[in-house]
Structure 1
Amino acid sequence: MLYALYQTAADVMLPIRAWAAATSQTLGNGQAPSLDSWRAAAALCEMVSRATLTHRRPTFGINEIRCGNDMVPVREEEVFATPFGTLLRFAKEGVGPQPRVLVVAPLSGHFATLLRDTVRVLLPEHDVHITDWANARDVGLWHGAFGFDEYVEHLVTFLEAMGPGAHVVAVCQPCVQALAAAALMAEDDHPCQPRSITLMAGPIDTRINPTKVNELATGRSIEWFEQNLIARVPWRYPGAARRVYPGFVQLTAFMSMNAERHVKAQIDLYRAMANGDAGQAETIKTFYDEYFAVLDLTAEFYLETVQWVFQEHRLARGELDWRDRRIDPKAIRRIALFTVEGERDDICSIGQTVAAHDLCTSLRPYRKKHYMQAGVGHYGVFAGRRWANQIYPLVRNTILANE
């Protein structure tokens, strides 16, 4: 019912947005008097035309990158794929061997392209791969379930496809799964276990300094989440009848946490377009084009993550199992561990990620490192100026020290 109501509203708005887009284009193409009032009207129409979500993955748009003094072409390669995710490589033409890095993208309502800036900064000096997760509403029921265990299995499989000697950089939510995969591979003395693992702003132990996200997860029973937030994909999509946690619900939750900031951003966008400030308008548009591209999660993955990570804290308590096998971070002995947190992170607060060090008790001190970046929120840990200039050099040094 939830998804059906959303889809009906989207269908009703479609002709209105189409009319608004056409009107905005007409007013903005010199077919109307060039007056401030007309420009404001064009801006208003464009705001109406943009009032929508997309369920299509945006492009990474990384076609070339500077390596040393040269601009090098970049192409995306599918190294390994399943119905639920693709190991995507950013191949650079004419560049010799570089440290191989698996960027583990969150599966939390947005596509992997949310980490575009993370990839762009890593790319000149690394052979970058990323977990490109599929939109669950596009995956047919016959492909089976995708839960917490399948996520961990995908990480192990992706590292096997990359071969021995890779490094892992996990961002946000999948820090738990990445540490679990590393522990399993270390315990098996797997030849493809990563040489280092960097955990950035992830919920290793959400009992520490709980945020609004944590309080929301613990304030209701898991049955409430299943009854109120899980819906079935409408019949028009390939994943028809699959139970999902819709991306538009997750986006609504994220935006409600900082409603004033998002409202202000939309007001700023309107004013920038009305005043002819194309630069500022394009910056805001670029961010929200990505932010409003939403991805549905399978119901089993969402519910298990809420229950196992945020309600029961299984990894932190030493009670997390992977297919009836206990996850033991103490098995990690040779994989270097680097954790990063943001001072102003209101999604994954200070202390929740560094808790990984307390779990990896077999690691020697010289294989452990932690960094807290002053002055940044959640997204500033993996995107923006401070990520590029202050955090990335430490990530690079961790990788190089363990090559």
Structure 2
Amino acid sequence: MLYQLYEMNNAALWPARICADVTRLFYTNPFNPLAHTSFGRTVAAGAELFERMTRHYDKPSFGLDSTVVDWKTVPVVEKTVWSRPFCNLIHFERAVPAGRRPDPKLLIVAPMSGHHATLLRGTVEAMLPYAEVHITDWVNARDVPASAGRFDLDDYIDYVIEMLHALGPDTHVMAVCQPSVPVLAAVALMEAKGDRLAPATMTLMGGPIDTRRSPTAVDVLAEEKGSDWFRQNVIMQAPWPAAGFGRAVYPGFLQLYGFIGMNLDRHIAAHRKFFENLVKNDGDSAAKHREFYDEYLAVMDLTAEFYLQTVDTVFVRHALPKGEMTHRGVPVDPSAIRNVALFTVEGENDDISGLGQTKAAHDLCVNLPADMKAHYMQPAVGHYGVFNGSRFRSEIVPRIVDFIGTYGRQGKIDVKATSAKAASERAAKVRA
């Protein structure tokens, strides 16, 4: 019933939101004298804050229309190149000159943990100058009809393998946060079978490979409560009129409220600052707030079976590091990985995946040569900074690109030169 009540409350607030939006428009209209007063800006700021805090946020778009390749700005087009009921694989196709040396193929596996794949917009944008980027665009479980069947952690691993097969040889895979475990499992299974389409490299970023190391509040809660508690307390039925009406799901709004609760003071301060910036007419700061929260507050549901199996496997039983994880009855053995180079990235202040949790992958891949392993800890960043932001672009991306270039067939990529080209292009735009 909680999900239905949530939807009813959201619908009941529509008239109030419309009224608030009309008020905002009235007090920001340049032809209204009050719009140029502190009183008018205060009323408009309060109205916008109310409307935004009670709004249902739809999935944002990637909005990546261009990138810089070889000194030039080239258009980018999103194309769906593989599709299943619970996921679409998007290729950001760049209009590069014919006959140009091909860049590496990169599969970015986005987290299926409550937010849409567009949360990695900055990750995709940063990698576009260096690779043919593909990303998993997971479908909101409430939008998938019950007739499409189940989707659990085993299916997730199958999807990753299928996508790697679809992309072909010499593909590089990058897992951000949650998918680190299923991606490592998928690569281990492919290597155990001698699959020639196993990726050339595997980059794991801020992932919960072994949550016994530096456990965070999320890890402790999951282990203390156990799988049954989550089954009884957070699993609900998708409400009508959603396409997936009746499907058992873990609602995205519960995940969102959990994340907000972990840093409540920070979010309250951010919204207070947003209000003050609107009153001061600081448009740039207000726009940055809107951009971040338009993404952060847009959430999606997960299938109940995927969520519960992930909680049990990763956070409760620690099955992968203990050597107890299976995929459809077949043991997942990371020691089978002998040919896929491994790069792990962690953030010093990560409060979702603690220090050492991702690096644990190195201890599991015991038969991978030492010179095919690399690890990097980014100082002074939290979980989000591992895959987005200025330090990600300046410190982490060059390392990823260098690693991919070292172990890919295309050879080395001159990341410094490419970065210089991008900077030159941006400078030219500013001068123009």
TM range (shorter): over 0.9
Residue in structure 2 matched with residue 280 of structure 1 by the alignment: 285
Give the conservation status (yes or no) of the 8 Å contact 1:341–1:373. yes
Deviation at 1:353, TM superposition (A): 0.4
Q: Secondary structure at the match of 2:260?
A: helix
Pair 1:296-2:298 in alignment: no
Q: Per-residue displacement from partner, 1:275-329 (whole Å, max 9, x unpaired)?
A: 1000000001100000010000000011111111000000010000000000010
Q: Give, in angstroms, the shift of residue 54 of structure 1.
A: 3.5
The aligned residue for residue 249 of structure 1 is 254
In the other structure, the counterpart of 2:139 is 134
Tell me how far apart the structure 2 counterparts of residues 366 and 222 of structure 1 sit (CA, whole Å). 39
Shift in alpha-carbon separation, 1:250–1:53, aligned structure 2, 3 A: farther
- Structure 2 length as normaliser, TM-score? 0.92
The aligned counterpart of 2:11 is 11
Q: Which residue of 2 aligns with 1:75?
A: 77
Identity in percent: 46
Q: Equivalent of 2:40, from 25, 28, 38?
A: 38
Q: Is the 8 A contact 1:54 1:294 kept in 2?
A: no
Aligned to 1:204: 209
- 1:170-319 equivalent positions in 2, closer than 5 A: 170-319=175-324
Q: CA deviation at 1:55?
A: 5.5
Distance 2:53 2:138 in 1: 25
What are the superposed Cα offsets for residues 8-40 of structure 1, whole Å, 9 maximum, x if unpaired?
Answer: 110111111111011101110123522111111
> 1:375-390 to 2 correspondence within 5 Å?
375-390=380-395
In 2, Cα distance between the equivalents of 1:333 and 1:23?
63
What's 2:27 paired with? 27
Letter in 1 for 2:221: L
Query: Which stretches of structure 1, 4 residues or more, deviate above 2 A after TM superposition?
Result: 52-56
* Aligned residue among 317, 328, 335 for 1:330: 335
Query: 5+ residue gaps in structure 2?
Result: 409-432
Cα distance in 1 between the residues matched to 2:33 and 2:168: 60
What does the per-residue CA deviation read over 1:58-93, in whole Å, with 9 as the maximum and x for residues that have no partner?
100100111131110000010100110011100001
CA positional deviation for 1:141? 0.3
Q: Give 3-state SS (helix, strand or coil) of 1:108's partner.
A: coil
Contact 1:52–1:292 at 8 Å: present in 2 too?
A: no
Provide the rounded CA distance (Å) in 2 between the counterparts of 1:395 and 1:363.
18
CA–CA distance in 1 between the matches of 2:316 and 2:55? 30
Q: Are the aligned partners of 1:187 and 1:332 in contact in 2 as well (CA < 8 Å)? A: yes
Letter matched to residue 11 of structure 2: D
Deviation for aligned residue 1:5:
1.2
User: How big is each residue's C-alpha offset from its partner over 1:141-187, in whole Å with a ceiling of 9 and x where there is no partner?
Assistant: 00000000000000001111111110011000110000000001111
Corresponding residue for 1:2? 2
What's 1:348 paired with? Answer: 353
8 Å CA contact retained: 2:17, 2:55? no
Matched, 1:360 2:362: no
- 1:26–1:32: 8 Å Cα contact kept in structure 2? no
> 2:92: which partner in 1?
90
Q: Secondary structure at the match of 1:203?
A: coil
- Code of the aligned partner of 1:326: P
Match of 2:411 in 1: none
Matching residue's letter, 1:89: H
Structure 1 distance, partners of 2:18, 2:94, is 39
Alpha-carbon separation, structure 2, partners of 1:91 and 1:263: 39
What is aligned with 1:110? 115
Counterpart AA for 2:190: M
Contact 2:10–2:56 at 8 Å: present in 1 too? no
Q: Secondary structure at the match of 1:38?
A: helix
Give the 3-state SS of the residue equivalent to 2:225 in structure 1.
coil
Partner of 2:163: 158
SS in 2 for 1:218: helix
* SS of equivalent to 1:62: coil
Q: CA deviation at 1:218?
A: 1.1
Cα distance in structure 2, aligned partners of 1:52 and 1:193 = 45
Q: SS in structure 2 opposite 1:158?
A: helix
Amino acid at match of 1:54: H
Deviates more, 1:58-67 or 1:95-104: 95-104
Give the residue type in structure 2 aligned to 1:68: D
Name the amino acid aligned to 1:365: A
Distance of 1:43 and 1:395 partners within structure 2 = 42
Compute the TM-score of the two structures, normalised by the length of structure 1. 0.99
CA deviation after TM superposition for structure 1 residue 216, in Å: 1.1
**Aligned with 1:16: secondary structure?**
helix
1:330-373 CA-partner distances (Å, limit 9, x unpaired): 11001000000000001101010000000000000000111111
The alpha carbon displacement at 1:53 in A equals 4.8
User: Which amino acid in the other structure matches residue 109 of structure 2?
Assistant: V
For residues 25 and 90 of structure 1, the distance between their equivalents in structure 2, rounded to whole angstroms, comes to: 37
Which residue in the other structure is 2:413 paired with? none
